[in-house]
Amino acid sequence: MRTILNLALLLLRAGALALALGCALFAIAAQGGRFSATLDVASHFSPIWLVGGLLAAALGALVSRGEERIATVIVATVAVALSVLQIAPEAFAYATQRKDSSQAGQTLKIVQFNAWGRNEDPEESARWLLAQDADILVLEEAYGAAGRFHKKIRAAYPYRTGCPKARPCQNLILSRLKPTVQGDFAERTIRRDGKPFLSVLYAGFGRGDDAFTVMGAHYAWPWPAGYQQRQSAALAKKLGAFDRETMILTGDFNSTPWSFAMRRQDKAFGMERRTRALATWPARFDRAGFHPLFPILPIDHVYAGKAWRTVKVERGPRLGSDHRPVVVTLARTP
């Protein structure tokens, strides 16, 4: 029995040190995202390196001895400190975000939702979307099972801005308001899977001083590195043709706000990101049969120009998608 206990203790000590080293190495690599798209992939998972570092420090302090304990705690502290440094700007922005509950002026309620082509409960998704009574829905992966549920809400949202039939509809804008302008654009630089690497929809509403544009986008994953950065740069150029002060840009950007890619994008877009530290993924892993209790990564975002004030930003419940929806209420500055 003593031998078994000693072996278990040895494994715990080794595990604590290995966890500390792994989290510290990834946290250091994340800082390399300042100059490398490949290293920036590690920055997206900074909350994991933070939690792992805290766990390693606690475990090392409990089970390790002497120099091994000191080494484990020091290495774990490096992981924690660098991860906090990565996340801190977004946490500060969340804590200081200003919201105007007066709702003076024109108000607009928008739902941003990656509906997921393998949506496990399209009926529940449709019921929830209808219950929100939003003005505009911006959907990604609006095909497959998700394609079935958006047909159920068509009567409530009679106006549709969709993709050309020549390719799968990654984006869809449904509205109660009649668009004055509709369009899409796609960069034809090809990804490895053969699809256009950027596809964006937009719909204009209102006229004169009341006019505004809503845009929906869907980015690639951060890995393989580089595609997401190219998407962001291409979209930033396209935005030059629109009035950014009145624009609302939403989408599944597959990018966390503490990544250097997202920091650069925030500056390039010239609009305020209204979703701050709002985790939306993962809501479920259908192939693994695992449904997390809560999401970890904020990858669905809403930007709005200076003409809009933030009234409310909320995360929706777990529905049939692997993303949770985002509900944003904005008010037009008089």
Domain limits, the chain? 2-96, 107-332
Per-residue pLDDT at 318: 93
What tokens were used for 119? 């949506």
Report the interhelical angle of 2-31 vs 46-63 (nearest 10°): 150
Per-residue pLDDT at 194: 58
Judged against a pLDDT cut of 60, whether residue 221 lies above it is answered with yes
What pLDDT, in 10s, does the model give residues 161-194? 987 665 556 789 999 999 999 998 876 655 656 5
Number of other CB atoms surrounding residue 130 within 10 Å: 15
- Bond prior to 89 in cis (omega within 30° of 0): no
- Bond prior to 282 in cis (omega within 30° of 0): yes
- The dihedrals phi and psi of 75, each to the nearest 5 degrees, come to -65, -40
Render the burial of 69-82: b for 16+ CB within 10 Å, e for the rest: beebbebbbbbbeb
Is residue 66 classed as helix, strand or coil in its secondary structure? helix
Give me the mean pLDDT over the 248-271 stretch.
Answer: 97
Per-residue pLDDT at 101: 73
Judged against a pLDDT cut of 80, whether residue 95 lies above it is answered with yes
pTM assigned to the model: 0.92
Pick the CATH number of 107-332 from 3.40.50.300, 3.60.10.10, 3.10.150.10, 1.20.120.80: 3.60.10.10
What pLDDT, in 10s, does the model give residues 285-298? 766 566 788 899 99
